[in-house]
Amino acid sequence: MKSITIKDVRLHPVALPLVEPLRTSFGVDEYKTAVLLEVITEQGISGWGEASVNLAPGYGPETMVTGLHVLQQFAIPLITNKEIKDPSIVPVLLRSIRGHKHTVAGLEAAIWDACAKVNDMRLADYFATFLPEGNQPRTGAVVGVSIGIQPSVKETLQIIEKRLAQGYKRIKLKIKRGWDIELAQGVREALPTIMLMLDANSDYTLQDSEHLKQLDQFDLLMIEQPLAHDDIYQHSKLQQQLDTPLCLDESIHSVSDLQVATELGALNILNLKPARVGGFTHSLQMYKHCVEHEIGLWIGGMLETGVGRATNVAFAALPGINLPSDISATDRYFDPDITEPRFELSNGSQLAIPDGYGIGVEVDLNRIADCEAIWEDINPFRANHD
């Protein structure tokens, strides 16, 4: 495999308006914010990655402002002018940076893209070279769709019917205290056979066990992260009381976390978000653990732009990803996106891997400039210092 040497890294902080505001237990998002990274090699190849960081420290502690600071002052100097034989060395090069996993994951993703491109490979095929034999990617990623909290069961059902008509086979509904049993019951009565899961985004405690046990009657695929965002132990206690499988998300940040959760029986399913665990090198290690221990596995989304979406589709096409992933088609979130071609849903609720090398999509620099201007308008740090 050919190596690369990084000569420059360009940062593009962007804000993309969402087609529909997304309401969760954290609040309402009207924009997708991210720092897009363009790694330029001495061969003149541009590798693209996405640091999926938000305006506020809700899902995790990172924000746009912290991401830009860590990249400019610490991360980029550690990899500039370095020869990189393969991307698995990036976590070693960045080992002096603790935390900031979404941020460093974006930089690592850009390097994965550049390395795949210099070797004339699709990113999905390049990922497979770091796995045991038998892990060649499928033609695409099987995906589902996530639906935010709506004002009523009726309005939720209207959106579900719309998504089913578009071809999505798995529906994820956001829930919170006071909006769970009624929602699940209403949806199940209307749509008794759909593949349905609920995502609590850490809104409950172990004291809610008796309440959560009522969800067992609704034949759910899983309940995602019902308890604290940093908890593993209490999830193990809750799983003992439920028939419905628990899926962990926010509380799994490393291979070590996953090993502990496996030993304790805290999860049957993992929502693997490469951004959350620090990038694709760590994601590949966790992928191997899940395959070995027969843990259900899917790739979660952070409402990524086309850059992050392309990278996630490549990973979600690997055969060990055995449940539909949260990587919806482009028009679910953006119109337009910043990349072409658009990701469109095909038969079997799939998104196809793009044909080109690396992430396989073309980045529209004019569209990025428009979204950089939007970020400047909504940047709360700038507003506080005008």
Rounded average pLDDT over 217-230: 97
The matching CATH number, chosen from 3.90.550.10, 3.40.50.300, 3.30.390.10, 3.40.1710.10, for 4-120+365-383 is: 3.30.390.10
> Phi/psi of residue 194, each to 5°?
-70, 155
Return the active site residues: 174, 273
Share of the chain above pLDDT 70, in %: 98
Please choose, from the candidates 274, 279, 287, 356, the residue with its C-alpha nearest in 3D space to the C-alpha of residue 319: 287
pLDDT at 215 over 90: yes
pLDDT at 316 over 50: yes
Residue 4: alpha-carbon gap to chain centroid: 26
Please give the C-alpha separations between residue 318 and each of 181, 315, 345, in angstroms, as whole numbers.
Answer: 35, 6, 18
Q: Order the strands of the 46-51 sheet from edge to edge.
A: 46-51, 27-41, 4-24, 83-84
Average pLDDT value for the chain:
95
Q: Are 249 and 272 in contact (CB under 8 A)?
A: no
Q: Are 288 and 89 in contact (CB under 8 A)?
A: no
pTM of the model: 0.94
Please choose, from the candidates 12, 13, 17, the residue with its C-alpha nearest in 3D space to the C-alpha of residue 337: 17
pLDDT at 25 over 70: no
Q: What is the pLDDT of residues 81-136, one digit of tens each?
A: 999 999 999 999 999 999 999 999 999 999 999 999 999 999 999 999 999 999 99
Q: Are 171 and 160 in contact (CB under 8 A)?
A: yes
pLDDT at 290 over 70: yes
Q: Are 270 and 255 in contact (CB under 8 A)?
A: no
Residue 385 has a pLDDT of 43
Q: Is 3 exposed, middle or buried (0-12, 13-18, 19+ CB in 10 A)?
A: middle
Domain spans of the chain, in order of start: 4-120+365-383, 126-362
Q: Are 122 and 318 in contact (CB under 8 A)?
A: no
Residue 378 tokens, joined:
């909504």
What's the pLDDT band for 203 if we cut at 50, 70, 90?
A: very high
Q: What is the pLDDT of residues 172-184, one digit of tens each?
A: 999 999 999 999 9
Share of the chain above pLDDT 90, in %: 92
pLDDT at 23 over 80: no
pLDDT at 356 over 90: yes
Residue 79 has a pLDDT of 97
Q: How is domain 126-362 classified at the CATH fold level?
A: TIM Barrel (3.20.20)
